[in-house]
Structure 1
């Protein structure tokens, strides 16, 4: 059995959905399909999920609905349904569910925005299942509640509950092709809750793990994973294989192919994952597995991302003050700030934070508390930081990786603001100024891949 997940670009319009049907028909083992909301049809287009969020925000702002945004959403689904010649009842069902979600937002019901955001994936699943039926395939729409996907009540950041996997296994008894909307689940009390953005990948992985599938195929719009962002390097090397740990590190640090949490359920069940291209399904793709044989090169990828800041704290004899680090992180916890990395020295400590976690008004409160409660010599915040991560199994056992990376930064004329390997065996992270990100990544690529 294969669980197949199709991303937003694979479901953007009727012609893409026709490709999805062909892919499913080509392999009788593709019995369970997880779908995202319709993505962009062209560069200037807007994803349906973004339109739903805009619609919800407009209702919450002044209590009235933005009819222009509403009609854009309905027209997206209407166009697909008409071009695929689906029964009129399919579009009516999609529209009714959107209207019901809008009413919940107007009533300010619990998790109403999550219910509205989920209408993109739900609409995709209704249309795809109907189209498969019309094409002569036995197919059924399966709501996540019916499938057994139970999650905690954490709007916009749901976490799957363990009992989901046993419930999902029961779907193996069904013989038709099952189409499940991604991105959301239900609490044990029946409340709809969404995962974080990109969460359809999480659903796909959860379903594959619950069904104990032989393979989880994730169809997107690229032939394979590249070793570096093509935005920085022209025609970069394609990767035919990765380990779960390598892919998770790359996803966390800016690779857009996978949500960084998506592989965890598949990883636990040791289910191989294959990334493939909807527009070129015969391409080899990239296999993601638990373990790989020995490679000639230990660096397999370079990931990067902007939007970080460095909270730098200095205090003489910090290393002798028991509990200093705990107290510093407790202040961040009190103020609702999550951190990414915390490299430290004898008298100083840096905390790397996503920029959006610490807006200016919250920054003032955090800085003042650190000064008063920890009696530090200096506290400073440095914004416009970028993180670059080089990733590969066995790097910590390979001589010269850090030296080669440092030489690459030197050749690019880029100063390293922060370096951190910590306890990771598969990655090494560097902090640089955002303005120097491109030249640093190009130089690292030349060093490790050319």
Structure 2
């Protein structure tokens, strides 16, 4: 049995819906289908989720939301008309959308979560109707009926352990199950949505809960590439990779998945196949547990970079002999509510790397001032010009020259390395450079392992 998730671009129009119908019909193992909300139809178009957010804001501010509601309804009507569906489906969709405006909610957060969730919910209702109309028996399943329970906050949900027990009692025989992504229900019956990548999360949870043989995630790309195509033209495709390789690469900028989205599938040991709705016969990329990997011919699976980092550099003579120095530093971070990303160190030096998007200038200035006052370093520098490159591959742990080849590929092109670190798992090499050098560094590493190796 397969759980299949389709992204917003795959479900944006009648033509795209038709591709989805054919994909589902082509494989009877595709038993559970997870929907996203309709995405953009073209450049400059609006996602239905964005329209729903605007709709919610208008209701909160007691503004006339009629035009927005009509816009949202028209998106589903366009798809319904493409398949010449009987009117009952659109009557139901229009009713549910209109009822949102008069439903009482506990507060603004609960209202926003419920409005956002309806993009996926209404699309699941529509897809079930389309499939049935096309002769493929299908039924819409409300997450509440499946016992899909979540905790956390209305717009930042976490799946509850009881969900997996509840899903184990759901019958998968009979019609295809069409399940809306992105949201679940709190134990009190309120709609809570996941964060970015919410439908991916739903698909991963269902894959684990239903003990699927495979989780197929259909997007608008043929596969995951070894490097960002915006940096290297026509890069090599990754045919197979491990879960932990995916996590390492997602952290440094790979955008196919929000980096935590497939954790439930990881926990359930369910392989994930990334495929293209517009080219469904392409094999895509298979993401598997480490033990399922063959011995890779290339030690490097992928290279990613991100410029969202900053660093704090500290120098203090005999730092390695001062007991409690790092503890005091971490206590300062705790007082400011700051988490750090990495902390490579030397005998007299310490570099702390931060996600810059989580900091602002006043916080940085106050943090540096308190560190100077409390720890009295000989030298302290805040570095904004910082990029991190991740070189990732299960094969790195089994080769002795990979680190040297990576370093040589940069030094031979006069790219300064500000930091280098290899994790305990030995499947990734982290390199710090100036932002201006990041893209060139990725290209040179790629050439070393994917171009010169093929000559």
Same fold (TM over 0.5): yes
Q: Matched residue of 1:319: which SS?
A: helix
CA-CA distance at 1:97 after TM superposition? 4.1
Q: Matched residue of 2:156: which SS?
A: coil
CA-CA distance at 1:105 after TM superposition? 9.2
Residue 236 of structure 2 corresponds to which residue in structure 1? 237
The 2-side partners of 1:208 and 1:262 are apart by 12
- Is residue 59–residue 105 contact of structure 1 (8 Å, CA) maintained in 2? no
Which structure has the bigger radius of gyration? 2
User: Matched residue pairs, number?
Assistant: 449
Residue 284 of structure 1 corresponds to which residue in structure 2? 283
TM-score normalized by the length of structure 2: 0.90
- Residues 52, 179 of structure 1: CA spacing in aligned structure 2 closer, same or farther, 3 A cutoff? same
Say whether residues 1:124 and 2:123 are aligned partners: yes
Residue 266 of structure 1 corresponds to which residue in structure 2? 265
Residue 114 of structure 1 corresponds to which residue in structure 2? 113
The 2-side partners of 1:417 and 1:423 are apart by 20
Residue 332 of structure 1 corresponds to which residue in structure 2? 333
CA-CA distance at 1:396 after TM superposition? 2.8
Say whether residues 1:47 and 2:39 are aligned partners: no
Say whether residues 1:347 and 2:351 are aligned partners: no
CA-CA distance at 1:289 after TM superposition? 1.6
Residue 222 of structure 1 corresponds to which residue in structure 2? 221
The 1-side partners of 2:100 and 2:337 are apart by 29
Residue 27 of structure 1 corresponds to which residue in structure 2? 27
CA-CA distance at 1:311 after TM superposition? 2.5
Residue 439 of structure 2 corresponds to which residue in structure 1? 438
The 1-side partners of 2:65 and 2:308 are apart by 31
| Stretches of structure 2 lacking an aligned partner (at least 5 in a row) | none
Bigger Cα displacement from structure 2, 209-218 vs 123-132: 123-132
Residue 18 of structure 2 corresponds to which residue in structure 1? 18
- Residues 175, 345 of structure 1: CA spacing in aligned structure 2 closer, same or farther, 3 A cutoff? same
CA-CA distance at 1:92 after TM superposition? 4.3
Q: Matched residue of 2:171: which SS?
A: helix
CA-CA distance at 1:321 after TM superposition? 3.2
Say whether residues 1:199 and 2:198 are aligned partners: yes
Once the two structures are superposed, the pairs formed by residues 284-323 of structure 1 within 5 Å of their partners are 284-290=283-289, 291-323=292-324
CA-CA distance at 1:106 after TM superposition? 8.6
Once the two structures are superposed, the pairs formed by residues 44-443 of structure 1 within 5 Å of their partners are 44-56=44-56, 64=63, 71-101=70-100, 108-290=107-289, 291-443=292-444
The 1-side partners of 2:363 and 2:16 are apart by 45
CA-CA distance at 1:21 after TM superposition? 0.7
- Residues 383, 92 of structure 1: CA spacing in aligned structure 2 closer, same or farther, 3 A cutoff? farther
CA-CA distance at 1:4 after TM superposition? 0.6
The 2-side partners of 1:172 and 1:239 are apart by 35
CA RMSD of aligned residues (A): 2.5
| Stretches of structure 1 lacking an aligned partner (at least 5 in a row) | none
Bigger Cα displacement from structure 2, 378-387 vs 275-284: 378-387
Residue 3 of structure 1 corresponds to which residue in structure 2? 3
CA-CA distance at 1:155 after TM superposition? 4.0
- Residues 58, 230 of structure 1: CA spacing in aligned structure 2 closer, same or farther, 3 A cutoff? farther
